[in-house]
Amino acid sequence: MDTITNKQLEILNLIYRFRFLNRTHLQTLLNHKDTNRINIWLKDLANKNILGRIYSTKLKENTKPAIYHLATKSRKILLNQEDINEKILKRAYRDKNASQKLIDHCLFTTHFYLLLKEQSQVNNQELHFYTKTDLVDHTYLPYHRPDAYIALEDKENYIKRYFLEIIDEGTPRFMLRKKISQYVDYFDENIWKNRTLHNNPSLLFICPNQYIKDFLNKHIAQVLEEETSDLQFFLSLKSDIQAEGITPSTWQLVAE
C-alpha cells in the first residue's frame, strides 16, 4: 500500500465527506497557510492514483484551481478508518466521469459550509455540519438525504436545526413538488421527533434562479395552508449567497 502522511489522510477524509473539493477549499478546511505544501500533498496523491484531478488547460479556465475526487487506490486506505461506508467508497470508481452539474453542486455545498462556519464564529456559535455522505447511515432520515443537516448551538446551549437542500438549475417542477411532499409526509409521521426527541428542523432551500424560487414560494405556501404542521421553509438564491454571504436578508420565510 502507498505510504501517505497524516495530513494527506485528512485530505482524503475531507474529500470523502464533500466528494469534490478544489485546492482553495482544502487549504481553508485544513487551516493551512502554505499553498506550496498543499500542492505537494495533492500532486503526490494524484500521482499515486489515490486522488483524481480535474483541471482545464483552456484559456481563461486554466487559472481556476484544480478539483480533486477520490480515485481507486483511496478505497483501501479509507476502509481502515472509522465512520467510513464501504458502499460510498464505490464512488471512487466513477467520480472521474461525474457531470459538471454534480461537481458544481458539491463545490457549492462546501462553499456554503465555509460561509456558515465563518458566520458561526462571528456569532459565537458552535456549528455541527453533516454532509450527505455523513448522513448515509442514518436510516431514520428522509429517503432522499438532504444536502446537509446543520445544528447551530449558542452559548446558552440553544440549538437551531436545519436541513439544507441545494436545487440544481433545470430541476423539473414535478421533482420539486415531490421533494416538498416527501418532507411534509416525513414530518407528519413524526419520524424525526420520535427518533431524536428534538423539534423538527427548519428547511433551507437554495434556488438557482428567481423562477424556481417563485415557484417554490407559491407551492410551499399552498401546501402549508392545507397542513397543520410546524414546518418552516426558508428560500434563498444561490447568487445572493455568493454575493452577500449568509445573512438574514438573503433568506425568505415562506408564509401561508
Cα–Cα dist 132/196, whole Å: 18
pLDDT at 73 over 80: yes
Please report the pLDDT score of residue 159 as a whole number.
93
Mean pLDDT over residues 187-211, rounded?
Answer: 94
Residue 62's pLDDT is 61
Q: What is the pLDDT at residue 87?
A: 87
Of 155 and 116, the one with more pLDDT: 116
What residue type is 97 in one-letter code?
N
- pLDDT computed for residue 155 by the predictor: 86
Task: Spell out the domains of the chain, with CATH numbers in brackets.
Answer: 6-98 (1.10.10.10), 103-253 (3.40.1350)
Task: Quick: pLDDT tens for 156-184.
Answer: 889 999 999 999 999 999 999 999 999 99
Task: Indicate if the pLDDT at residue 13 is higher than 60.
Answer: yes
State yes or no: pLDDT of 256 exceeds 70: no
pLDDT at residue 34 greater than cutoff 90: no
- Tell me the residue type at 170: G
Is the pLDDT confidence value at 227 over 90?
Answer: no
Burial classification of residue 145, based on how many CB atoms lie within 10 Å of its CB (0-12 exposed, 13-18 middle, 19 or more buried): middle
DSSP state of 42: H
DSSP of 133-184, one letter per residue?
TTTTT-TTS-SS--SEEEEEE-TT--EEEEEEEEPPTT--HHHHHHHHHHHH
Please report the pLDDT score of residue 144 as a whole number. Answer: 82
Q: Residue 201's pLDDT is what?
A: 95
pLDDT digits (tens, 9 = 90+) for 88-139: 898 888 899 999 999 999 999 999 999 999 999 999 999 999 999 999 999 8
DSSP class of residue 82 equals T
pLDDT at residue 69 greater than cutoff 70: yes
Worst-scoring range by mean pLDDT, 53-57, 126-130, 149-153?
53-57
**Closest to 91 (Cα-Cα) out of 193, 177, 18, 11:** 18
| 34 vs 68: which has the higher pLDDT | 68
Looking at the chain, list the stretches that DSSP marks H as alpha helix, in order from N- to C-terminal side: 6-18, 23-30, 35-47, 74-78, 86-89, 100-122, 173-188, 191-196, 210-226, 238-244
Instruction: Please determine, for residue 35, whether its predicted confidence score (pLDDT) is greater than 80.
Output: yes
- Sign of dihedral through CA atoms 105, 111, 117, 120? negative
The rounded percent of the chain whose pLDDT value lies above 90 is 75
> How confident is the model at residue 64, as a pLDDT?
81
Q: Which of 151, 6, 150 is nearest to 81 (CA)?
A: 6
pLDDT at 60: 60
Return the C-alpha cell found at 190. 413524526
Q: How much is the mean pLDDT over the chain?
A: 92
> Is a pLDDT exceeding 80 seen at residue 76?
yes
Q: What is the pLDDT of residue 21?
A: 97
**pTM to 2 decimal places:** 0.93
For residue 228, what pLDDT is reported?
A: 61
